[in-house]
């Protein structure tokens, strides 16, 4: 479960906003189901801060959003924002290709190329890395179980390790 929160601090309040971030980010990390947070600071023509928040379930994400500590901190920063925060909750893979600033979306052929460039090498590397496990526990090498373990490992690596960083790294090309 991923929430993308966009906020626009007033020009004269950026320093206070940064101090606020240093309080709210560690607080979110203490909540059950928290799986990470990325703060994308303004770049290019955008002056939006984008906070990408990952939780394990919708219920745990909702607990964080509805929590008294978060509500209190959001109320404290609200006067320093130019506009209301924009919150977009995403449950699937579409998050990988959503522009962080709400701008132009990635073209389908670029999404295809990015996904292929990530998945293809993993279909070679992951089975090779898991081979010792299959040799050590032959019952895991049964075709159905073997493929399930490989697919699970690839999806986990793509979802949690590669795509969040890779799409940010190539964002200029991806969204042009």
DSSP 145-170: HHHHHHHHHHHHIIIIIIHHHHHHHT
Phi-psi category of residue 135: left, alpha or beta, with phi > 0 → left and psi -120 to 50 → alpha: alpha
Q: Where are the beta strands (DSSP E) in 56-168?
A: 86-90
DSSP category for residue 80: G
Say how many C-beta atoms besides its own lie within 10 A of residue 107's C-beta. Answer: 13
Evaluate if residue 122 carries a pLDDT over 90: yes
If pLDDT is split at 50, 70 and 90, which confidence band does 92 have? low
If pLDDT is split at 50, 70 and 90, which confidence band does 110 have? confident
| pTM for the structure as a whole | 0.57
If pLDDT is split at 50, 70 and 90, which confidence band does 98 have? low
pLDDT of residue 97: 64
What is the average pLDDT across 103-123? Answer: 85
If pLDDT is split at 50, 70 and 90, which confidence band does 169 have? confident
Evaluate if residue 113 carries a pLDDT over 70: yes
Q: Which domains occur in the chain, in start order?
A: 2-91 (3.30.70.100), 108-174 (no CATH)
């Amino acid at each position: 479960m991923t929430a993308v929160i966009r906020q626009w601090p007033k020009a004269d309040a950026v320093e206070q906003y940064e101090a606020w971030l240093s309080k709210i980010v560690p607080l979110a990390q203490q909540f059950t189901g928290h799986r990470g947070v990325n703060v994308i600071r303004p770049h290019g023509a955008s002056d939006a801060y984008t906070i990408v928040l990952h939780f394990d379930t919708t219920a745990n994400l909702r607990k964080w959003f509805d929590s008294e500590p978060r509500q209190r901190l959001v109320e404290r920063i609200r006067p320093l924002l130019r506009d209301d925060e924009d919150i977009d909750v995403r449950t699937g893979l579409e998050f990988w290709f959503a522009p962080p600033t709400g701008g132009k979306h990635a073209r389908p052929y670029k999404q295809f190329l990015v996904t292929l460039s990530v998945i293809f090498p993993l279909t070679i590397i992951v089975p090779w890395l898991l081979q010792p496990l299959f040799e050590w526990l032959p019952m895991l090498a049964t075709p159905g179980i073997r493929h399930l373990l490989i697919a699970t490992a690839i999806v986990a690596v793509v979802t949690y390790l590669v795509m969040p960083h890779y799409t940010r790294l190539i964002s200029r090309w991806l969204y042009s």
